[in-house]
């Protein structure tokens, strides 16, 4: 049995505790060179090993607890924290750990132990492929390990769906087996490790309520900044990218925030969408802007766009990317947001004669937001598309408005029940004007119906019927009508004369 002194043990404790995880993934660990001997929670201490001497005849174990939010814990002692462990356990089959024994670390002598304590993961010479364990119930266990130093590497084994949480792996780190217990008076051969990790969630929202084509509406992208050591300026990149549909016109960035801080224009650089960059908006934080970002801060970008026209589909979809460096590895992390949809359709009005069933040109209409069955409309609810707020039927008796927001959903998925009202302001020559507003809905289902010639799946067709004006007509001179009137007049005169004579006789 090989044993060595309490001095070496003290070196071990200092090395392990001093080199324990400094920040969470995607942050790097505390050691300047990335050296991270990780000991969070010893579970099995060995009081019978003598005066702190390592028993090389024993085998050890490493239990890795994969928890989100472990970066907030400062008690990295190598002990099993149980229910007091920080954060929450990660789900099954999302993460794996690989443990490899370091071959250039000799713990059998004081000198070798001291040299091992100075190793970094980059310096460590790992042995073979090691052993890989997939995390289950938040835990990965490695048993029957020889006494020594082990290199631990983490890998995300399952891609996270867009719009969900994205796990950012910890930087490779070193674990000494055994470590000293929290009191420093006994060796712990079963080391519990809580690597500091984080997950980043990205989200996209759209605010398009009552916004028709050529009206500005907004997109908001939110994402979690990685956990990092701010003093070392380890956040070297953070940017938002949004490839816009060709039917969208970029209006401008309205707000960029890092936590509660609203960033100034000097804190970020905007690359506007153009054909040269595939219509992609990019907002990148400058060094000045990144200096204002706290570890794990909620980042957000809000900007405005306009839909130029309905185009070929009622739906207009949008999805963005958030890109930042992983301070633990130096690699870029790219996350996709969820997809949001805005819905617009065209309105086609057909003006017809009730009796002759023919289309009529020259009818003028205004459009309003209103309640179902409204008897009147108000100017404050009058709709303008671009600079147009009055539409006239053409030679074919139709007009088309491109385009209106649907009346059954807004802001991507919020259900609504809204209505529009058509108000005829001028009738075709020779016809009566409809004075009552015509209310209607414009749901996605309404638009999809194809019910006649010229109808399609992006257009709602509304027929508006007019009656002819009832104007009295004078009969033509010499016509049959004049003869009838003359005969009736003569009969009246004769009857009057007869009654007059009879009255005289009496």
Contact 370, 439 (CB under 8 A): yes
- Tell me how crowded residue 287 is: count the other CB atoms within 10 A of its CB: 10
Report how far residue 143's alpha carbon sits from residue 190's, in angstroms, rounded to the nearest whole number: 9
Could you tell me what percent of the chain has a pLDDT over 90? 55
pLDDT of residue 68 exceeding 50, the answer is yes
pLDDT at site 37: 39
Smallest Cα–Cα separation from 400: which of 365, 432, 368?
365
292-341 pLDDT per residue, tens: 999 889 999 999 999 999 999 999 999 999 999 987 777 888 999 999 99
pLDDT at site 365: 98
pTM for this structure?
0.71
Q: Greater confidence, 187 or 493?
A: 187
- The torsion angles phi and psi of 115, rounded to 5 degrees, stand at -70, -40
Contact 323, 239 (CB under 8 A): yes
pLDDT at site 222: 98
Contact 170, 197 (CB under 8 A): yes
Smallest Cα–Cα separation from 150: which of 118, 113, 170, 125?
125
Starting at the edge strand found earlier in the chain, the sheet holding 173-177 runs 131-134, 95-101, 148-156, 173-177
pLDDT at site 245: 98
pLDDT of residue 482 exceeding 70, the answer is no
Give 229's DSSP letter.
Answer: -
Contact 94, 167 (CB under 8 A): yes
Q: How far is CA 325 from the centre of its chain?
A: 20
In this structure, is the dihedral angle defined by the CA atoms of residues 432, 436, 442 and 445, taken in order, positive or negative?
negative
Q: How far is CA 386 from CA 114, 447, 503, in A?
A: 75, 22, 82
pLDDT of residue 268 exceeding 80, the answer is yes
pLDDT of residue 148 exceeding 90, the answer is yes
Mapping DSSP to helix (H, G, I), strand (E, B) and coil, where does residue 281 land?
A: strand
Q: How far is CA 261 from CA 232, 257, 283, 293, 336, in A?
A: 21, 5, 16, 9, 24
pLDDT at site 491: 63
pLDDT of residue 278 exceeding 50, the answer is yes
pLDDT of residue 56 exceeding 50, the answer is yes
pLDDT at site 493: 58
pLDDT at site 285: 98
Residue 230's pLDDT band, with cuts at 50, 70 and 90, is confident
pLDDT of residue 61 exceeding 90, the answer is yes
Q: What integer is the mean pLDDT of 230-244?
A: 90
Mapping DSSP to helix (H, G, I), strand (E, B) and coil, where does residue 179 land?
A: strand
Contact 260, 60 (CB under 8 A): no
Encoded tokens for 184: 């420093």
Domains, the chain, ranges and CATH? 6-199 (2.60.40.10), 202-338 (2.60.40.740), 342-466 (2.60.40.10)
């Amino acid at each position: 049995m090989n044993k060595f002194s309490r001095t070496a043990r003290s070196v071990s404790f200092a090395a392990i505790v001093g080199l324990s995880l400094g920040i969470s993934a995607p942050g790097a660990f505390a050691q300047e060179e990335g050296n991270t001997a990780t000991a969070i929670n010893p579970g099995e201490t060995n009081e019978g090993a003598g005066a702190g001497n390592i028993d090389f005849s024993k085998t050890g174990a490493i239990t890795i607890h994969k928890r989100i939010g472990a970066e907030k814990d400062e008690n990295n002692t190598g002990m099993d924290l149980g229910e007091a462990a920080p954060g929450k356990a990660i789900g099954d089959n999302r993460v794996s750990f690989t443990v490899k024994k370091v071959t250039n670390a000799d713990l059998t002598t004081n000198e070798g132990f001291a040299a091992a304590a100075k190793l970094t993961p980059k310096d460590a010479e790992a042995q073979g492929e090691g052993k890989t364990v997939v995390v289950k119930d938040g835990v990965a266990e490695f048993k029957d390990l020889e006494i020594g130093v082990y290199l631990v590497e983490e890998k995300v084994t399952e891609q996270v769906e867009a719009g969900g949480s994205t796990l950012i792996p910890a930087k490779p780190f070193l674990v000494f087996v055994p470590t000293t217990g929290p009191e420093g008076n006994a060796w712990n051969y079963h080391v519990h490790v809580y690597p500091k990790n984080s997950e980043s969630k990205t989200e996209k929202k759209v605010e398009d309520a009552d916004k028709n084509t050529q009206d500005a509406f907004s997109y908001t992208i939110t994402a979690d900044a990685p956990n990092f050591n701010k003093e070392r300026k380890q956040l070297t990149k953070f940017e938002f990218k949004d490839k816009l549909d060709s039917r969208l016109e970029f209006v401008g960035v309205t707000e960029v925030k890092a936590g509660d801080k609203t960033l100034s224009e000097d804190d970020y650089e905007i690359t506007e969408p153009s054909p040269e960059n595939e219509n992609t908006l990019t907002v990148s934080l400058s060094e000045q802007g990144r200096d204002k970002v706290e570890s794990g801060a909620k980042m957000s970008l809000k900007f405005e766009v306009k839909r130029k026209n309905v185009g070929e589909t009622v739906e207009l979809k949008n999805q963005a990317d958030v890109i930042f460096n992983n301070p633990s590895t130096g690699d870029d992390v790219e996350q996709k947001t969820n997809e949001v949809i805005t819905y617009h359709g065209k309105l086609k009005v057909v003006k017809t004669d009730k009796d002759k069933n023919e289309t009529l040109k020259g009818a003028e209409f205004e459009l309003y937001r209103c309640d179902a069955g409204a008897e009147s409309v108000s100017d404050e609810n009058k709709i303008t598309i671009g600079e147009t707020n009055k539409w006239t039927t053409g030679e074919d008796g139709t007009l088309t408005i491109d385009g209106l927001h649907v009346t059954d959903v807004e802001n991507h998925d919020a259900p609504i029940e809204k209505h529009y009202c058509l108000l005829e302001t001028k009738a075709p020559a020779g016809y009566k004007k409809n004075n009552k507003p015509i209310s209607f809905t414009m749901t996605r289902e309404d638009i999809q119906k194809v019910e006649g010639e010229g109808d399609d799946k992006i257009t709602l067709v509304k027929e508006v019927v007019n009656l002819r004006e009832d104007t009295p007509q004078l009969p033509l001179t010499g016509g049959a009508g004049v003869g009838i009137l003359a005969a009736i007049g003569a009969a009246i005169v004769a009857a009057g004369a007869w009654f007059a004579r009879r009255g005289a006789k009496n």
